[in-house]
Amino acid sequence: MTFEQGMPTMIGTNAKVIKALETAKTLAKSNVPILVVGESGTGKKNLCQYISSLSSRGERPFFVVDCARDVSDVQNDILGHRDHEGKFHKGVLEKANGGVVVFSNIDALDESFQKKLYTILNELSDYEIDIRLMATTTKNLSKYVGAGRFYRGLYTFFSASQINLPPLRERKEDIPALTSFFTGKYSQEFSLGQVQIDQPVIDKLCNNYCTHNVRELEILLENALRNRQAGVLNVAALEAGERKQDIRNTDSEDDGFKLMTLRDAEKMLIKK
């Protein structure tokens, strides 16, 4: 087991995952905007962090703006705002100078702000702001453009360099490695020592859970291990973990590979 400081875990032997990682490594050498596309829980924001960690900006500020919130909050986060006492708070475009800004759920960005953001992003150099720009989405933005729901200029700005992440159901062969990794992670966190994984657990996960995402798989295994004393992860523990939380109804936009602080990332295994 080897560890690399500041790099999030990207696990997989699936051809689509490998292609995404190789593309990420190539793009890390440049400064072009990037669009990461994938279903909820596939690892989009963490892939952005992976790209950042491989680039010359790896130790620079890294900000994520959730575009799914109220447009006024999004604008305040991006451009800055004054509080009720008149004090001005810088936006992320200024605070992240030299670093990276990720626009998460960019498909949810209010239509009234899309063209304005496009203009702002194209004028950053005029204000001596140097940042790497990325965006994530679960949607087919080209269809949104065709339907008049997304500004074409903003789509073109990001989509020239696009990375697609497959859902777990399309990378079923990675479930054993992911299960092993998350079991190791939480057995260490819960001081369980070495935990053996029964083969029926792997079989059940591959047969019953391949339609769900990596985040849900991690939550399931965390719950299954949380109250274990030691020893073996068996089907009974897995089913008990599922009863603790209805992961099948998870619908948040957090990534399957969690966005981590550098301290958290130091603990994470880099495994291809």
Would you state the pLDDT for residue 253? 45
Q: Among 78, 122, 124, which Cα is nearest to 104's? A: 78
Would you state the pLDDT for residue 246? 57
pTM (2 d.p.):
0.83
> Which residues make Cβ contacts (< 8 Å) with residue 187, sequence separation at least 6?
193, 194, 195, 225
Would you state the pLDDT for residue 268? 39
> Are 37 and 162 within 8 A, CB to CB?
yes
Would you state the pLDDT for residue 8? 54
Q: How far apart are CA 181 and CA 160, in angstroms?
A: 34
Which whole-number Å values give the CA distances from 40 to 11, 13, 43, 45, 165, in the listed order?
17, 20, 8, 10, 10
> Are 18 and 12 within 8 A, CB to CB?
yes
| pLDDT tens, residue by residue, 5-14 | 344 557 889 9
Phi, psi for 102 (deg, rounded to 5): -110, 125
- The parts of the chain modelled with pLDDT lower than 70 are 1-9, 210-211, 245-272
Give the other-Cβ count within 10 Å of 104's Cβ: 22
| pLDDT tens, residue by residue, 116-131 | 999 999 999 999 999 9
Give the other-Cβ count within 10 Å of 81's Cβ: 15
